[in-house]
Amino acid sequence: MQKLAELEQSLGVSFQNKDLLQTALTHRSYLNENPTWHLPQNERLEFLGDAVLELAVTRYLYLNFENPEGDLTSYRAALVNSNMLAEVAASLNVNDHLLLSRGETKDVGKARMYILANTYEAIVGALYLDQGYDAAEQFIARSIISRMNDVLEHKLYRDAKSYFQERAQDIAGVTPTYEVVKEWGPDHAKNFVIGVYIGGELVAEGEGSSKQAAQQDAAEKGLKAKGWE
C-alpha cells in the first residue's frame, strides 16, 4: 500500500477503491507468471479510459478553439497519441509501479512505451469508475491538456513528413525520399536512423524506434535545416 500511496501522490489523486488503481497497473504478462494474483489485468480499464480521455480532450478543444474540424482532430491526435501518453505516464512515475512479467520488466524499448500509454488510459478508466467523470476530467486536464501550449508552440500537431513533402515540391519541385542509414537492436526493440533526401542532397537524419518515427524525425529536422518551418 505504501507504493500505491506514493503513486497517488504523483497522480494527485487518492483512490477510494485501491484495487481499481492496482488493476490499472496490472499488465496481462504479470498474470501469466502470477496466476493466483487476486485482480484482473488492465485491458478492460484501458478500453474505458480511452473513451473517457477522448471525450475530455474533445470537449476541451471544442469549447476553447474556433478552428475547423480538421485542425481540432490534429490537435487531439497530438495530445492523445501513444508517445504523449507514455511521456506523461513516465512523468507521473507510473513506470515504477507497473506489475509486469520478468521478461517485460527487462524490455525498456518501444514495447514499454506502449505499456505506459495503455496504463495511463487504464488509470483514467479506474478513476472514472472510482470517482466519476468530473474527477477523471480534472486529472486529464492536469496531466494531458496542460501540454496544449507545447503542442501549439512546437507544432506537434503537424505531420512533419507530409508538410516537408509539400514544401519540397513547392520550392524545389522534387518529392523527397527516405533511406535507412543505420539500424540496430533485436526485432522487438529496433532502432533506425533514416536520411531524408531532396534529389541527391542529404538534408537531415532522424532517429526512432520505428521507420515511420525516424522518417518523421528526419522530416522535422529537414524543415529546420531548410528554414521551412
Same domain as 201, residue 112: no
Same domain as 218, residue 119: no
pLDDT in tens for each of the 229 residues of the chain? 678 999 999 999 999 999 999 999 999 999 999 999 999 999 999 999 999 999 999 999 999 999 999 899 989 989 998 889 999 999 999 999 999 999 888 877 778 888 999 999 999 999 999 999 999 999 999 999 999 999 999 888 888 888 899 899 999 999 999 999 999 888 777 889 999 999 989 999 999 888 988 998 899 899 989 998 7
Same domain as 195, residue 92: no
Dist CA 44 CA 126 (whole Å): 10
Q: Identify the active-site residue in 19, 43, 46, 50.
A: 50
CATH number of the domain enclosing 189: 3.30.160.20
Match 497530438 to its residue by C-alpha cell: 78
Q: Show the cell assigned to 148.
A: 496544449
- pLDDT in the model for residue 1: 62
Q: Show the cell assigned to 177.
A: 525520399
Beta bridge partners of 196: 178, 204
CATH number of the domain enclosing 112: 1.10.1520.10
Same domain as 108, residue 56: yes
CB 77 within 8 Å of CB 70: no
> Is residue 134 flagged as an active site residue?
no
Domain end call among 153, 176, 193: 153
Same domain as 207, residue 147: no
Same domain as 99, residue 195: no
Same domain as 172, residue 136: no
Same domain as 184, residue 128: no
Q: How many domains does the chain have?
A: 2
pTM, entire model: 0.80
Task: List the beta strands (DSSP E) in the chain.
Answer: 177-184, 191-198, 201-208
Domain end call among 153, 177, 200: 153
Q: Show the cell assigned to 121.
A: 488510459
> Is residue 121 flagged as an active site residue?
yes
Q: Identify the active-site residue in 43, 54, 66, 121.
A: 121
Same domain as 127, residue 35: yes
Can you give the residue range of the structural domain that contains 206?
160-226
Same domain as 132, residue 94: yes
Q: Show the cell assigned to 176.
A: 523527397
